[in-house]
């Protein structure tokens, strides 16, 4: 079996910087035409000038045979100004502003502490500039159970936000719960959407503990119950335009995952399209795969769909146990396992 589809984009990608960027970028550039690049570096990408500099370093690392285009983002802080939003839009290179609640995930310590109190004028300017807010949707209050943080965030932050600023475009990133599905589906189409990762489509929280602690299945937002996984699969395979591909591929050196306090993040760029195809095939919805991978994202962002094509062929292949680089090893998602679909250039 073979499918030919419009080249997909990745609407949520972590490329890191330095030698890690150079190591992982070819995996994304091989299959994706564009990617929304997350800004949570050290230091974070909080200004347009920093985004331009980061983009230049990405462009230098793109393989010569690739047409990959990075779409840059800013990291929202309590100190971000409306003028910075104007600069970002004017640059033509920044496509969204990322909201990290302070302490929510990797390198989020500089994130927002009070969205409505400190950032409302910035959000109003984002409406004026038609610049989307890209949301890591979890509260960070230690009194809230980690498995409930997305639900509570929706109730206390997102629902009030869309009521107060109904014209603000919002992407709820890497959704993990039936609550998030329900919220996105309740909002006005074209203003609120969601990215969905391979891990949250294929794994539930049991995958963290099968036969022992599984650090390479640890990500944030953390994997949830099976009932939530099923709700997300139903949503993305329904044909709804509100959901689109965002891998949240997040590479870490193996030593930073397999340690006493391991980093959150799953590296899935080499396997993402194979896994999305698996999900849609198992749901009997391969006819809806192309819209999810290649149409819904650019349509929401107001960008043209890619003109190039790729092939997805049903042919078993084994995922490497690890990917070795001079700085160390990265363990990919489903390491050592056999996948049924492979992505090929046309």
Residues catalogued as catalytic: 12, 14, 98, 136, 174, 248
Q: What are phi and psi of 178, to 5 degrees?
A: -60, -30
Q: How far apart are CA 151 and CA 180, in angstroms?
A: 7
Which run of H or of E encompasses 324? strand 323-325
Please state, in angstroms and as integers, the Cα–Cα distance from residue 213 to each residue in 91, 259, 330, following that order.
45, 11, 18
Decide: 333 and 266 in contact? Cβ < 8 Å.
yes
55 beta partners: none
Nearest Cα to Cα of residue 321 among 309, 336, 307, 306: 336
Rounded Cα–Cα distance for residues 68 and 74 (Å): 20
Contact 111, 157 (CB under 8 A): no
């Amino acid at each position: 079996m073979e499918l030919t589809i419009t080249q997909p984009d990745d609407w949520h990608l972590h490329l890191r910087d330095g030698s890690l960027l150079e190591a992982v970028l070819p995996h994304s550039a091989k299959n994706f035409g564009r990617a929304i690049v997350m800004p949570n570096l050290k230091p974070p990408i909080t200004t347009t000038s920093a985004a331009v500099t980061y983009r230049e370093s990405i462009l230098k690392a793109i393989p010569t045979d690739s047409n990959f285009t990075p779409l840059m983002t800013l990291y929202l802080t309590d100190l971000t100004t409306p003028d910075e939003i104007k600069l970002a839009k004017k640059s033509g290179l920044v496509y969204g502003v990322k909201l990290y609640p302070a302490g929510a995930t990797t390198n989020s310590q500089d994130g927002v502490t009070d969205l409505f109190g400190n950032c409302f004028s910035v959000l109003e300017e984002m409406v004026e500039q038609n610049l989307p807010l890209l949301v890591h949707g979890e509260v960070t209050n230690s009194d809230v159970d980690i498995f409930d943080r997305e639900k509570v965030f929706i109730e206390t932050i997102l629902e009030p936000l869309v009521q107060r600023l109904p014209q603000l475009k919002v992407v709820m990133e890497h959704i993990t719960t039936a609550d998030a599905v329900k919220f996105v589906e309740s909002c006005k189409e074209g203003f609120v959407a969601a990215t969905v990762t391979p891990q949250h489509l294929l794994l539930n929280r049991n995958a963290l503990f099968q036969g022992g602690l599984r650090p390479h299945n640890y990500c944030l937002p953390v994997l949830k119950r099976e009932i939530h996984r099923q709700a997300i699969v139903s949503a993305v395979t329904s044909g709804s335009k509100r959901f689109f591909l965002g891998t949240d591929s997040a590479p870490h050196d193996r030593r930073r995952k397999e340690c006493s306090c391991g980093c959150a993040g799953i590296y899935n760029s080499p396997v993402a399209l194979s896994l999305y195809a698996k999900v849609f095939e198992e749901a009997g919805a391969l006819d809806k795969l192309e819209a999810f991978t290649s149409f819904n994202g650019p349509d929401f962002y107001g960008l043209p769909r890619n003109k190039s094509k790729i092939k997805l062929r049903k042919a078993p292949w084994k995922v490497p146990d690890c990917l070795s680089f001079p700085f160390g090893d990265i363990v990919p998602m489903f390491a050592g396992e056999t996948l049924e679909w492979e992505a090929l250039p046309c």
